[in-house]
């Protein structure tokens, strides 16, 4: 009995000593993944039904051009819990962050709430002070709504620039699209939906020091736009910001489909010039 008791104490002591030895190492690793305050990452957010694949090839092309490096993926599960894969280290000059929503058909208010949690953790865990934002389709709506409703710079990184790609700020005017798709997001994507009207009502809350680039696609005619979002709808965010902070660019090409926009090198170039001054 005494021998068993002694062995138990021995193992407990070994465990305590191990914890004390490993604790400084854990602290060092955490500080190692923290970004330098001078680093300004760029966050990429997919649209309705999007996934990690939505921006994967664009980020690969940008990496090949040496414009930046994908270093961190933020995964948000259906309950809004955030997990991270990768890190942001001080030696990465232009890190890319990809945000993935498990519920990729969620309503705009939920996406905005999840973005707030992502941004808060990016500041807490990685000490990110400033950030650029890129959103495709509904991702552009969510990022715009986030900027309108999130003002506490002590809790969140300060946004510098926003790029929207084929984002339906005026809604999607195609009834057949709503007949074959499902999810709470569809309510918000209808023209004149309550969520889209709220974006317009909140226009004065959009930060006046955030520069905006709106990219739209036109395959054949402006009414059809990129095949899903009309030109007018994609550029409607010009009414949500001050004129002097807004820039727009229209890609006229048969390849400028709604899902094809983030596969075009010309779109890569527009984003690079706007965000980082790459020519």
* Token pair in block for residue 250: 């229209």
Residues with Cβ within 8 Å of residue 14, at least 6 apart in sequence = none
> The whole model's pTM is what?
0.87
Chain segment 90-118, per-residue pLDDT in tens: 888 899 999 999 999 999 999 999 999 99
Q: Band the pLDDT of 29: cuts 50, 70, 90.
A: very low
Inter-residue contact 150 to 202 (CB < 8 Å): no
pLDDT at 151: 80
Inter-residue contact 279 to 273 (CB < 8 Å): yes
Judged against a pLDDT cut of 50, whether residue 256 lies above it is answered with yes
Judged against a pLDDT cut of 50, whether residue 4 lies above it is answered with no
Which one-letter DSSP state was computed for residue 17? H
Judged against a pLDDT cut of 60, whether residue 9 lies above it is answered with no
Task: Look over the chain and give the mean of its residue pLDDT values, rounded to a whole number.
Answer: 90
Look-up: residue for tokens 């094809």?
260
257, with CB counted inside 10 A (0-12, 13-18, 19+), is middle
């Amino acid at each position: 009995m005494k021998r068993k008791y002694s062995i138990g104490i021995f193992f407990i002591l070994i465990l305590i000593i191990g914890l004390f030895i490993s604790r400084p190492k854990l602290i060092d690793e955490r500080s190692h993944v923290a970004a330098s305050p001078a680093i300004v990452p760029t966050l990429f957010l997919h649209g309705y039904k999007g996934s990690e694949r939505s921006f994967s090839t664009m980020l690969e092309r940008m990496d090949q051009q040496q414009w930046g490096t994908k270093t961190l993926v933020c995964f948000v599960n259906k309950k809004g819990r955030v997990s991270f894969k990768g890190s942001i280290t001080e030696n990465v000059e232009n890190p890319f962050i990809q945000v993935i929503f498990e519920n990729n058909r969620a309503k705009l208010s939920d996406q905005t709430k999840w973005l707030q949690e992502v941004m808060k953790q990016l500041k807490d865990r990685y000490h990110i002070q400033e950030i650029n934002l890129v959103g495709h389709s509904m991702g552009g709506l969510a990022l715009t709504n986030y900027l309108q409703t999130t003002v506490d710079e002590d809790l969140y990184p300060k946004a510098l620039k926003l790029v929207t790609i084929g984002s339906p700020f005026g809604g999607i005017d195609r009834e057949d699209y709503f007949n074959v798709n499902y999810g709470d997001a569809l309510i918000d994507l209808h023209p004149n939906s309550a969520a889209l009207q709220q974006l317009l009502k909140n226009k004065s809350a959009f930060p006046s020091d955030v520069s905006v680039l709106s990219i739209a696609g036109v395959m054949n005619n402006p009414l059809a736009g990129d095949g899903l979002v009309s030109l007018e709808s994609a550029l409607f965010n010009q009414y949500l910001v001050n004129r002097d902070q807004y820039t727009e660019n229209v890609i006229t090409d048969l390849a400028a489909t709604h899902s094809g926009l983030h596969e075009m090198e010309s779109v890569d170039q527009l984003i690079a010039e706007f965000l980082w001054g790459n020519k």
